[in-house]
């Protein structure tokens, strides 16, 4: 199966709010960067553009969006709320019913892509 099909399958298998959240995050990721590539690594959805950008994972009580180079990114809206002690990564944990600051998240995603482009 292609990565996009595996992500579709993951979303459909998560028949609760987590599947809807991953689908929503996926749309925001593509809105932020229409040229981003979907991958399937470590049994989860991953997006890359000139390197790894982020990965989405479903857990019992939250959905995690992990930014592979998050520690190098400015986060003026304070979206990062998990993995703050890690050397290179940062994450956002989304819980059921929480609002998403979509424009701030898209800005953060664009910053992650720009960071990867600078490194190349």
CA neighbor of 67 nearest in space, from 98, 102, 101, 109: 109
- Compute how many other C-beta atoms are within 10 angstroms of the C-beta atom of residue 9: 12
Question: For position 93, what pLDDT does the model report?
Answer: 98
Domain regions of the chain by residue span: 3-119
pTM of the model: 0.95
Q: Are strands 52-58 and 63-67 parallel, antiparallel or unpaired?
A: antiparallel
Question: For position 27, what pLDDT does the model report?
Answer: 98
Question: For position 106, what pLDDT does the model report?
Answer: 98
| CATH 3.40.1010.20 applies to domain 3-119 | no
**Whole-number Å distance between alpha carbons of 118 and 113:** 9
- Residue 118: pLDDT band (50, 70, 90) is confident
């Amino acid at each position: 199966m292609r990565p996009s099909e595996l992500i579709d399958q993951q979303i459909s298998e998560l028949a609760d709010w987590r599947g809807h959240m991953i689908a929503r995050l996926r749309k925001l990721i593509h809105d932020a960067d229409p040229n981003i590539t979907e991958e399937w690594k470590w049994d989860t959805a991953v997006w890359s553009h000139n390197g790894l950008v982020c990965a989405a994972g479903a857990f019992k009580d939250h959905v995690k969006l992990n930014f592979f180079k998050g520690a190098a990114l400015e986060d003026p809206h304070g979206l990062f709320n998990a993995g703050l002690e890690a050397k290179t990564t940062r994450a956002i944990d989304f819980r059921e019913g929480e609002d998403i600051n979509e424009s701030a998240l898209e800005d953060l995603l664009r910053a992650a892509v720009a960071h990867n482009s600078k490194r190349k």
